[in-house]
Amino acid sequence: MSTPSTITRASSMPTTTSDSLFTTRRAHLEDLGLVNALHHACSLDSRYARYATPRRELKPSEFARLVHPAAGDTWITTLTDGPESTETAVALTHLLKTRTAGFYELAVLVGDPWQGQGLGARLTDQALAWAAENPNCLTVTAMFGASNRRAQRILSRRNVTIPAANAGVIDVTLPLPERS
């Protein structure tokens, strides 16, 4: 599956990927309503697993920082229902730069109805494939609560050694696919 691109690499990678159920594309500021609808539809457990807080939505200023190209990449995954192609957000993926040059942090939020079907794993693979093609990305990390069994399963299936939690948080370095 091809992966979304950044502004700087648009000529070499498509900005949208699709399969029979989902479309994943780069998120834009105009998607805030879709993103907040996804947050509202997620259970407290899902939101807590992603943010370590029960937050119900993102503020416009927060989302603006996440979708700004200087921050890294944020993708929205939608389900298209009906003949009018009404978008419904089912997942949000972030691959964001950290304060350390070359280090990016991966975070994924999948809506409750779509959990357990492999979407989180696919989005993780997609983000890691993009990271491997980005010459500026040397390392990808993920941070999540020790009780987030879904994140642990995704990583365990990829033979990632999950370190012990520190203060209830797991901070793990993810291996990148082979660079082409």
Confidence (pLDDT) at 7 = 27
Structural domain of residue 129, as residue ranges? 16-174
CATH number of 78's domain? 3.40.630.30
Q: Helix (H, G, I), strand (E, B), or coil: what is residue 50?
A: helix
For residue 154, give the amino acid letter.
Answer: I
**Count of structural domains, the chain:** 1
Confidence (pLDDT) at 83 = 55
Confidence (pLDDT) at 79 = 87
Report the DSSP pairing between strands 103-110 and 139-145.
parallel
Residue 98, domain member (yes or no): yes
pTM of the model: 0.85
Confidence (pLDDT) at 173 = 97
Better-scored residue on pLDDT, 79 or 98: 98
Range in 18-32, 34-48, 144-158, 161-175 the model is least confident about: 18-32
pLDDT digits (tens, 9 = 90+) for 148-159: 999 999 999 999
Residue 49, domain member (yes or no): yes
pLDDT at 9 over 70: no
Residue 6, domain member (yes or no): no
Residue 180, domain member (yes or no): no
Q: Helix (H, G, I), strand (E, B), or coil: what is residue 113?
A: helix
pLDDT at 3 over 70: no
Between CA 136 and CA 133 the distance in angstroms is: 9
Q: Helix (H, G, I), strand (E, B), or coil: what is residue 1?
A: coil
Range in 49-53, 56-60, 78-82, 134-138 the model is least confident about: 78-82
Q: Helix (H, G, I), strand (E, B), or coil: what is residue 93?
A: strand
Is residue 146 classed exposed, middle or buried when 0-12, 13-18 and 19+ CB atoms within 10 A define those classes?
middle
Between CA 21 and CA 166 the distance in angstroms is: 38
